[in-house]
Amino acid sequence: MTKNILNLFKVSRKNTIKSFTNKEKMANIIDNISSQLSTHCLKTHHKAINELLDNINKGNDMSDLYLNVLKISDTRDHILKSKINYYLAMNAKNPNLLMLTVNTLLKDLADPKKELRMLAIDFINKIPYADEYFLKIFIQILKKGDSDEQKMIISILGKFFLKQEWVEKYELVSLLREYALGIDNFEALKTTYNIIDACKILEINEIFQLLETKRTAYDSKLILLCIMKKIIRSNMIQETNQLKRAENIALSLVNSVDMKICYMASKVLMEITKTHSQFIF
């Protein structure tokens, strides 16, 4: 009995020493990275951020360096900036920390350098908070920005539909609808699909028209079929003529050369027969 107690004591002591050694080792790593981040050398900043991300990948908690990283986030080097934004996005775990980065992001969104604007948009996509500041600027970029920026913004517009007052205040429905009905409409349709009530954006007949139009790209048709399947499952289509039209569209796409289109068209047909048993083709 005494021997077992002694063995347990030895194991406990060994684990305590090991834990202390690991903490001391991590403290040294954090101090070293902190020192590198406090320099004015771009090359050293790159080295520090790489070490920081490497430690995160190993499962180490590096959130204590958030303010240190934030201090160098004003860099014009877009490669370093992308790594900084990645770290900040991972560690902005509460609104207070996030707000510390808002001013930098707002400045980057208005930066003449496209790479920095794109990185700022991508950063906002990663954070869990929808902020009205960003929405206002996004709408400006949608009106004035280039197509790459517009696509990125449209792809994350769905998170702003979470607040109904913003939807009405900024006319988000008509804004997304405009892009969803356009030629290069994949991102807008993808965002439409992710919004609970897709029929707020597009009417059922407009979805049919986009699917019937030859100029609609295959990837857009795939999303449209997903939207149509969701609408049928929710019993939003009740009229027989609309169900027949949905069936005809799906039948025309079942033999598509694109296997994904073929598969989703067959899923739409299955949904019609499942939710409207009297409507067997």
Answer whether residue 274 shows pLDDT above 90. Answer: no
178 or 18, higher pLDDT: 178
pLDDT surpasses 70 at 250: yes
pTM (predicted TM-score)? 0.71
Q: Percent of the chain, pLDDT > 90?
A: 40
- Average pLDDT of the residues in 202-223: 92
- Look up residue 20 and give its two tokens: 């202390």
The pLDDT of residue 123 is 84
pLDDT beyond 70 at 196: no
What's the pLDDT band for 280 if we cut at 50, 70, 90?
very low
**Non-local CB neighbours of 90 within 8 Å, separated by 6+ positions:** 56, 126
Q: Are 198 and 227 in contact (CB under 8 A)?
A: yes
pLDDT in tens, 52-71: 999 999 999 898 899 999 99
Lowest mean pLDDT among 123-137, 184-198, 230-244: 123-137
Q: Say whether pLDDT at 17 is over 50.
A: no
What is the structure's pLDDT at 212?
A: 94
| pLDDT for 7 | 55
